[in-house]
Amino acid sequence: MKKIINGVDQVEEQMIEGFVKACPEYLKRLGDDLTVVRAQKKEGKVAVISGGGSGHEPSHGGYVGKGMLDAAVAGAVYTSPSVDPIYEAIKAVDAGKGVLMVIKNYTGDVMNFELAGEQAEDDDDIKVAKVVVNDDVAVDGSLYTVGRRGVAGTVFVHKCAGAKAEAGGTLEEVQAAAQKVIDNVRSMSMAINPSTVPAAGVPGFELGEDEMEIGIGIHGEPGVKKMKLEPADKIVDMMLEKILGDLDYTGSDVAVMINGCGGTPLMELYIANNHVNDVLTAKGINVYKTWVGNFMTSIESEGFSISILKLDDELKELLDAPADTPAFTQV
């Protein structure tokens, strides 16, 4: 394992400290938890929180700020956060209007967020709602999941739910906006190189020098299949076939996210986007907005995912609304 770290037992702690020191104008740490909240709590609005295992940076702490999240709760690398820090985060961000939890569909995440939410409702009279993101069309059920996994499309949920909350939406309205994104976004991923969890010390899976894995999860969970590495355009075709076969995008305006897995150069993401854009355009699907970059990573894994969100006027407005966070700023 070749990493720029100190000790494997110091990774999460030093990472969050280095993160908070990089952007104190945006956020602060909540106690000793791997949780960040906005530097200035925003009063008078619904709060939106998310979280999950570390290793997906800038998810989710990078999206804490105006127009997106109010808190992000991390666990150890690729490990669900436990109930206590989620509960503490809910209490810290609630401003009397309720809290929406954006949960990726992994068994541990769902269970712990739900327990924390129930505790906050029972003990503290906080209104808590949730959505569960399951945008990955690759497989139905996986290593840590019953049903589809939640992957990069989650960041579109943060953007739209956050914008709705910032605009003064009620808890029910913010939840409905988040659910609308979930209902209309589909994602698919691939990788040419795996990631290594520091504490494990060895890659999560193995690929030959000429192999890739299609449909892989954000923790390196098995995908659809290992196969010979193909040219970028052919890879994109395979991924789009699955995505476009799952939801009818015909004639729609869409937002596209080309998400890097952490070790992928922008060069390759742009080459992928070139063909994604061409294929969608040829099919009469109108690309309204494109995000290219590292939004939901798998440590240093090399590969990318495509997420396609079908838009209506409400989602366009929410997607276009200003945001100001460490990892996503839009005027």
Interface contacts to a second copy, rule CB under 8 A: 2-7, 11, 14-19, 21-23, 54-55, 57-58, 62, 192-193, 195, 209-210, 229, 231-233, 235, 258, 262-275, 277, 287, 290-292, 294, 297, 299-300, 302-304, 322, 324, 329-331
Residue 293 — φ and ψ, nearest 5°?
160, -170
Q: Is 56 a catalytic residue?
A: yes
The stretches of the chain forming alpha helices (DSSP H) are 11-22, 83-93, 107-124, 154-166, 171-184, 232-244, 266-282, 313-320
Q: How far is the CB of 109 from a second copy (least distance, A)?
A: 19
Q: With beta carbons less than 8 A apart as the criterion, state whether 83 and 118 touch.
A: no
> Between residues 173 and 237, which has the closer beta carbon with respect to a second copy?
237
Q: How far is the CB of 216 from a second copy (least distance, A)?
A: 13
> Between residues 141 and 208, which has the closer beta carbon with respect to a second copy?
208
> Between residues 57 and 109, which has the closer beta carbon with respect to a second copy?
57
Taking each helix axis from N to C terminus, what angle separates 171-184 and 154-166, rounded to the nearest 10 degrees?
A: 150
Q: How far is the CB of 6 from a second copy (least distance, A)?
A: 5
d(CA 200, CA 131): 31
> Between residues 31 and 228, which has the closer beta carbon with respect to a second copy?
228
Tokens, residue 116? 């924390």
Q: How far is the CB of 121 from a second copy (least distance, A)?
A: 34
Place of tokens 């209007």: 97
Q: Which of 56, 60, 158, 275 is catalytic?
A: 56
d(CA 310, CA 180): 10
Residues taking part in catalysis: 56, 219
